[in-house]
C-alpha cells in the first residue's frame, strides 16, 4: 500500500530534550515536506526536500532541523524543544501536483 | 507576508444544497491553487487543483479561479453529510514552486 508513515504518532516531552520524528514514504517520491498545524493558523511549512541531500526552509524553520540521506526518509529533528513547538506535525511527499500526507504526530512539549 | 485567507466557518448547509467555500490570497504572482479536505483527526487529502482562470469541474466539485480578483472558490454540489469536514485552500507562491501556503480552513457542516 502506497503511504507516508510517521513515528511516533503521539509524544509528550519536556523542554530541551532532543527528539526526532521519523517520516518514511514508499512511493519513491523525490519531494518531501514537513508541516505543523495549529488552531487558527492552518498548516505551515517547516522544511522541504526536493531530493536526497537537497533541503530548504519553509515558512517556519526556526527550532527545527531536517536531513535527507535516503529518498524514502525525511526525519524532523528538534534539538531543544520548547513549549511553542507543541503542535500537530504532518509529513508529506509529492508527485507532480498531489501531496500525500502522513497520519500526523501530535507533540506536546511541557 | 504571503497570506491565504479563508472564513473559518462553520458553514452550515442542508443536505442536497450547494456549498460555496471561498479563499483569497495576497501574492498576485501565485501560480497554482489547491483545495484539500481534512476530516477531524485525519490528515489532509487533495480534492482538486486549478491553474488557469475559470472553472474546473470534477464530479460534484467545481473549483473557480479569478486571478485578477485574487480569489479561488470551491463549490460542492448535492452536499452530503459525508462532506462535513474542514476545507483547506493552498497556494503555491510566486517563485516558490516547492512551497505551499495554506489557509486556516473553513469548517463545513452538512446537516440531513
What's the rounded Cα separation, in Å, for the pair A79 and A89? 16
State residue B2's pLDDT score.
Answer: 56
Closest chain A CA to residue B46: A98
What are the tens digits of pLDDT across the range A58-86? 999 999 999 999 999 999 999 999 999 99
What's the rounded Cα separation, in Å, for the pair A52 and B16? 47
How far is the alpha carbon of A7 from chain B, nearest alpha carbon, in Å? 14
Percent of chain A whose pLDDT exceeds 90: 90
pLDDT for A25 beyond 60 = yes
- Section B9-30 average pLDDT: 95
> Is the bond leading into B106 cis (omega within 30 degrees of zero)?
no
Q: Which of A42, A92, A101 to mutate to test the interface with B (most CBs of B within 10 A)?
A: A42
pLDDT for B1 beyond 60 = no
The confidence band for B103, taking pLDDT boundaries of 50, 70 and 90, is very high
CB atoms under 10 Å from CB of A101, counted, come to 22
What's the rounded Cα separation, in Å, for the pair B59 and B68? 26
**Residue that is written with C-alpha cell 536531513 in the block:** A67
All 3 cell numbers of residue B4?
491565504
Amino acid at each position: 500500500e502506497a503511504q507516508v508513515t510517521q513515528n511516533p504518532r503521539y509524544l509528550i516531552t519536556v523542554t530541551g530534550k532532543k527528539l526526532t520524528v521519523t517520516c518514511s514514504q514508499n512511493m519513491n517520491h523525490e519531494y518531501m515536506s514537513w508541516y505543523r498545524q495549529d488552531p487558527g493558523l492552518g498548516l505551515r511549512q517547516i522544511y522541504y526536500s526536493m531530493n536526497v541531500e537537497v533541503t530548504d526552509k519553509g515558512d517556519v524553520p526556526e527550532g527545527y532541523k531536517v536531513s535527507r540521506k535516503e529518498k524514502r526518509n525525511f526525519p524532523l529533528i528538534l534539538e531543544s524543544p520548547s513549549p511553542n513547538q507543541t503542535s500537530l506535525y504532518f509529513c508529506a511527499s509529492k508527485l507532480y501536483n498531489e501531496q500525500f500526507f502522513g497520519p500526523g504526530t501530535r507533540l506536546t512539549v511541557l | 507576508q504571503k497570506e491565504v485567507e479563508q472564513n473559518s466557518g462553520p458553514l452550515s448547509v442542508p443536505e442536497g444544497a450547494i456549498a460555496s467555500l471561498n479563499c483569497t490570497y495576497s501574492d498576485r504572482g501565485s501560480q497554482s491553487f489547491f483545495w484539500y479536505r481534512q476530516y477531524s483527526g485525519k490528515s489532509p487529502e487533495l480534492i482538486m487543483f486549478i491553474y488557469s482562470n475559470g472553472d474546473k469541474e470534477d464530479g460534484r466539485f467545481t473549483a473557480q479561479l479569478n486571478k485578477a480578483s485574487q480569489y479561488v472558490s470551491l463549490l460542492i454540489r448535492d452536499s452530503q453529510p459525508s462532506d462535513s469536514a474542514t476545507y483547506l485552500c493552498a497556494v503555491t507562491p510566486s517563485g516558490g514552486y516547492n512551497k505551499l501556503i495554506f489557509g486556516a480552513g473553513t469548517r463545513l457542516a452538512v446537516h440531513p
